[in-house]
Structure 1
Amino acid sequence: MAFVDGGYQGDEAQRAAFEASRITVTLVKRTDQVVKGFIVLPQRWVVERTLGGINRARRLSKDFEATINAALAWLQLALAFLIMRRLATPKIQQD
């Protein structure tokens, strides 16, 4: 399942995503009527944070691997470090 914004609404985008890799497209609509500035949508925020964390892995952005398996291994390693960093960060409780 993929969460997309209004730019991907319509049958053509949904059909193409499903035919390419069996992805079901779910449109995330804005809840506000008057848009003033940038507003984070919850489902998209998770994806954007993950992609931002992957982009911090310098090897993934500067070096290109010879095989798909090597690239996948480096991607999984970068995601493992991202998860460890999130788990190691102490949670601050506010009363």
Structure 2
Amino acid sequence: MESVKKTEDQHGFAAHPGRCVVERTFAWLGRNRRLARDFEASIASAVAFLYAASAMLLVRRLTRS
């Protein structure tokens, strides 16, 4: 991961390659109610629910096709 700085002639928003992929992934995971807030007591449980949300997303996509 690398930090992207604005160019000197840039004003406002500029799309960067790969940025929409990351934002879209966070939006999909944010749809899961458990991941919408940071209520988990430990990092291990937060990671477990992240895996569960990813698995549910994958299963939903597989059943559609």
Could you tell me the TM-score, scaled by structure 1's length? 0.48
Alignment size in residue pairs: 61
CA distance in 2, matches of 1:76, 1:42: 26
Could you tell me the TM-score, scaled by structure 2's length? 0.64
Answer yes or no: is 1:50 the counterpart of 2:25. yes
Partner of 1:88: 63
Relative CO higher for 1 or 2, CA cutoff 8 Å, sep ≥ 6? 2
Please say which structure displays the higher CA radius of gyration. 1
- Structure 1 residues 4 and 79, CA gap change in structure 2 (3 angstroms): farther
3-state DSSP of counterpart to 1:62: coil
- Structure 1 residues 44 and 63, CA gap change in structure 2 (3 angstroms): closer
Unaligned runs of 5+ in 2: 7-12
3-state DSSP of counterpart to 2:36: helix
Unaligned runs of 5+ in 1: 8-37, 91-95
Partner of 1:61: 36
Structure (1 or 2) with the greater strand fraction:
1
Aligned CA RMSD, in angstroms, stands at 2.8
